[in-house]
Structures are given as C-alpha cells and as structure tokens.
Amino acid sequence: MTLVAPPNFRVIAGSVQGTSHLRTRTPCQDAYHFTEIASGELIVALSDGAGSAAYGEEGAQHAVATAVATVAAALDRYRPTTRRAWHVTVQSAFLAAQQAIFALAAQRERAPRDFAATLLLLIFTAEETIGGLVGDCVAVLHHDGTLLSLCPPQRGEYANTTNFVTQPDLRSQIDVRQWAKPVRSAALFSDGLAPLAMNLAQNEPFAPFFEPLFAFLAAANDAAVAGEQLADFLSSDRVNARTDDDKTLVLIQRIAHDNVPIIHATCNDCH
Amino acid sequence: MSTNLNPLDLVKFDDSNPEARCPCILLLDTSGSMSGAAINELNAGLETFQQEIQRDDSAAVRVEVAVITFGNGVHTAQSFVSAHQFVAPRLTAGGNTPMGEGINLALDQLRQRKDTYKQHGVSYYRPWVFLITDGAPTDEWRSAGQRVQQEENEKAVAFFAVGVEKADMKVLAQISKRQPLRLQGLNFRDMFVWLSQSLTTVSHSQVGQQVPLSSPAGWSIID
C-alpha cells in the first residue's frame, strides 16, 4: 500500500496482519484513511478493530472513513480558530464515527460491540496539529528534532483492555490535544507496534525507531517501492519476533514548498 | 527488492518495555484427606503443568505462577515466579482444611503482585486463582467467599474452583462465582494441561480480546 498525497504532505502507509491473526485466520483488523483537502490540511485516521469483535475490521473501516469525511466536510464550511472550536470539530467526527457503526450494526442486526474499534484522528494544518484519541493507537510528532507522543494511549487496568468508539460513554473518553506548532513529520501506528516504538510507561517515543523511518520517508522517490519496503519491514521476522498483533504504520512528511511532490495519489486503496 | 542497503534495516526497537504478565495462583488443598493417591496424582499433575506451561516461549515469560497450600496451616509453597523458572513442588498431605485463610492469602498476594507491577510500569492481565479441594473448609470461609464474589464482580480476579472426589460442591458454589467443576476421578493431568493452555491463550491475548477458553469437558463433570 503506497500512497503519496498531493501538494503539502507526503504519506506512505503500510498495514499488515499479525502472526496471531494469521494463526487464527482472523483478518487484519486495522484500518486507516487520509485525505488532503483543497485548503491544504491533511486529515488522517487510524483504527484498530477489537480482537473480541466479530466484525472489528469493518468497524475500523467505517470509523476511519466517517471520521475523515466528517472533518473534511466541517473544514469546508468553517475553519476553527480556537481550542474549543477544534475540540468540537474532533468530537463531532468521533460521534459521527460511532453513529456510522451503530447504523451498520442495526442494518446487520448485530450488537454495536461486534464492530468495536479504537480511533485516532489527526488534523495537520499549516500552523498546528490537532489530535483526538479513543483507544490505544499512537501519534508521534516530529518537531525541531524532538519527538513527542500527542495523546497518551488509553489502557484499562489489564493489558488487553482499552476504550472503543462503540462505548456508550464515548463523549467523555475522547482525548483531544493540540500541538500549536507545525510538524515536519509524524508517524501514526496501531498498538501492535507500540512496544517496539515507545517506552510505554513514560509514553516516550524511542528515537532510534523513528529516525530511520523519517529518513526513509524523506528519501523515498518511488512510492511503490517505498510502500513495499514498509510492508516488508512490518512483516519482517524481526518485527514479528516482538509482536504478533496487526501492525499499521502511517508516515507523514510535510513537503517543503520548493519541492515538487513526487507522485499524486489518493487513498482509494486504503483499508 | 534491490540489493542495496535497506534503510529500514536501521530501525531499532525499544527494549525497555517489560513483557505483560499473567499471574496465576494455584491454591491447593493438602489436608489429611488428600493423602495417598490424591496427593500423588496432584504432584504428578503439577509436573505436567510445569512441562506444559514452559512449552510456549512467550507464555513461559508472561505467565507467573505461585502455589499456596492449605492443610496443616496455610503455606506459600512457591512465591510468584515466571513460568520458565517454575519447578513443581512436591506436596505432602496432612491436617485440617483452612480454606478461608488460604483464599484470603491468595487474594492478598495478588493485590501485592499488582502493586509491584504498577510500581515497575509492567502491564498485566487479569489474575487467576485456581482452587483445588477434596473436602470442605474447617475454618471461617464465608467472608473469604464474599471477598471472592466481590473481587470477581470487580473483575479484579478470575477465580476457578475444582472439587475432587468428596469435595463439598455446595460450599464451592458459594465461594466461586463461576460454576465449580468436579474433577473426573483423579485426572489432575488433563486439568493441568487445560490450565496451561488457557493461561497460554490469555497471555497471547490482545487489546479488546475476550479469551474464549476451551471446554474443560475432558477432565471435569458438572454436577
């Protein structure tokens, strides 16, 4: 899966099934979607379908598609300028994602929890980055040589518990954060990669994980090759030795305006 | 793929995150009535458990085992160790059946273990207590039973009770919220194989996954 967005951002993403899902023949339950809108903002969503949900992958697909479309439509009408306004915009995207899953569940005559999924939503503007999280996906921002994790992953008491957009108390679980500076690059990933990429207790990105990835992204001049390389990396033995969960990684880089974007692509073939 | 250096080979992984832990306490009746064949089969079963739980590399690191016995007082026969370090103790039987005290000690030790995990930033799965008895408590057990019910309701513990031979299944049903199971004869081996497989499954489970346990029908009877 190789995607390079038009003018302002370069995006390369990979999503591969975990070895435990291969064993149990469950599909990859991660999904992502992104779009760069005409006014220049990049909107990216990542979701991890719950392992216990029979249709977690479908819940994840609906969540990312709905969240991105909701923000894109909102920004088309109105440009938030205050923290409060961004908060409302992000919150409405999560609530729309929940409604989309509820509608799907009703149509299929299943319980919403059968479509349970987490959701991470990022909006990159020229001035700042806004993030919203329910669950345990991670967004790492790269700014001025430092790395930071925007929203702390939400974990329950136990290792296998977190929050999902299908929860009745969704509104109170949405963690909205704002980073009031433009970022140079960013990485969004599902929890399967978190133990490799982060000090989990401190919510601290592990720089030797990200630096080569951002260098790789900056040097990528063939989107197809870069995407294959990323997928190969995600399904490599050394990654699988450390995690048996699904793994999705979305790499984002702001393209300097004097650079010509390498390839124009859309997210039609996203999960 | 080209033969050039792959830049992604340079990606390094964080080594600071401890493996998630899956604590399990075996809470075993070693009262006088367990003497003879029962204690011998239980000891053999514990050896089977040791072999089985060490078979899966990841489970051997993630599962932590402790053994508490009740009979001639309550004793910690094995404090928490990683499954790969677990050596099956050889238990002897004698004395009465202080099950209530044993249950309280097990729940206390789990609470302490969780505190230790939290202090060290270690994530963990819901702990298990696996109670095996062939009799009825000789001490005050009702308050311990209430505590089990409460902690089970709070999802603080998963408490399983197994009755052997003449065990008082009615008492076990008042202690354990989950339906107590009666062991088929002295088939401890198959029970411990099941326990090992179940803990292995739990220790592999991922976010949002409710772990479907395999049926205990191979070793148990439901009264």
> DSSP code of A236?
S
Give the range of the structural domain holding residue A161, as residue numbers without chain letter.
2-270
On the question of pLDDT at B142 being above 60, the answer is yes
Listed in sequence order, the residues at least 6 apart from A221 whose beta carbon sits closer than 8 Å to its beta carbon are: A262
Could you say which residues from 84 to 143 on chain B have a Cβ atom under 8 Å away from some Cβ of chain A?
Answer: 121, 123-126
- Which residue on chain A is closest to B115 by alpha carbon? A157
SS3 content of chain B, % helix, strand, coil (to 5): 40, 20, 40
Kindly determine whether residue B17 and residue A209, on different chains, have CB atoms separated by under 8 Å. no
The H or E element spanning position B70 is: strand B63-70
* Closest CB from B7, B208, B211 relative to A212: B7
How confident is the model over A251-260, as a mean pLDDT? 74
**pLDDT tens for residues B61-106?**
999 999 999 998 999 999 999 999 999 999 999 999 999 999 999 9
Share of chain B above pLDDT 90, in %: 78
How confident is the model over A203-218, as a mean pLDDT? 95
Q: Give the torsion sign (CA, A99, A103, A106, A108).
A: negative
Confidence band of B207 (pLDDT split at 50, 70, 90): low
Give the number of C-alpha atoms closer than 13 A to the C-alpha of residue A224, restricted to the C-beta side: 1
**What is the number of other CB atoms lying within 10 angstroms of the CB of residue A142?**
22
CB contact B210 to A (< 8 Å)? yes
Cβ-Cβ contacts under 8 Å between A and B: the total is: 103
Structure confidence at residue A8 (pLDDT): 87
On the question of pLDDT at A6 being above 70, the answer is no
> DSSP code of A134?
E
Q: State how far the Cα of B83 lies from the Cα of B202, in Å rounded to an integer.
A: 14
On the question of pLDDT at A200 being above 80, the answer is yes
Instruction: Using only the alpha carbons of chain A, give its radius of gyration.
Output: 17
pTM for the predicted model, two decimal places: 0.83
Structure confidence at residue B205 (pLDDT): 75
Contact, B171 vs B131, CB < 8 A?
Answer: no
Structure confidence at residue A16 (pLDDT): 85
CATH of residue A69's domain is: 3.60.40.10
How confident is the model over A23-39, as a mean pLDDT? 85
CB contact B5 to A (< 8 Å)? no
- For residue B86, the SS3 value is coil
CB contact B206 to A (< 8 Å)? yes
How far from the centroid of its chain's Cα atoms is residue A124's Cα? 12
A169 phi/psi in degrees, rounded to 5: -95, 30
Q: For chain A, what is the domain count?
A: 1
Specify which residues A140 forms β-bridges with: A149, A187
**pLDDT tens for residues B27-42?**
999 999 999 999 999 9
The length of chain B is: 223
SS3 content of chain A, % helix, strand, coil (to 5): 35, 25, 35
Contact, B64 vs B23, CB < 8 A?
Answer: yes
Give the ipTM of the model, two decimals please. Answer: 0.86
**pLDDT tens for residues A41-61?**
999 999 999 887 889 999 999
Q: State how far the Cα of A94 lies from the Cα of A166, in Å rounded to an integer.
A: 10
How confident is the model over B2-15, as a mean pLDDT? 83
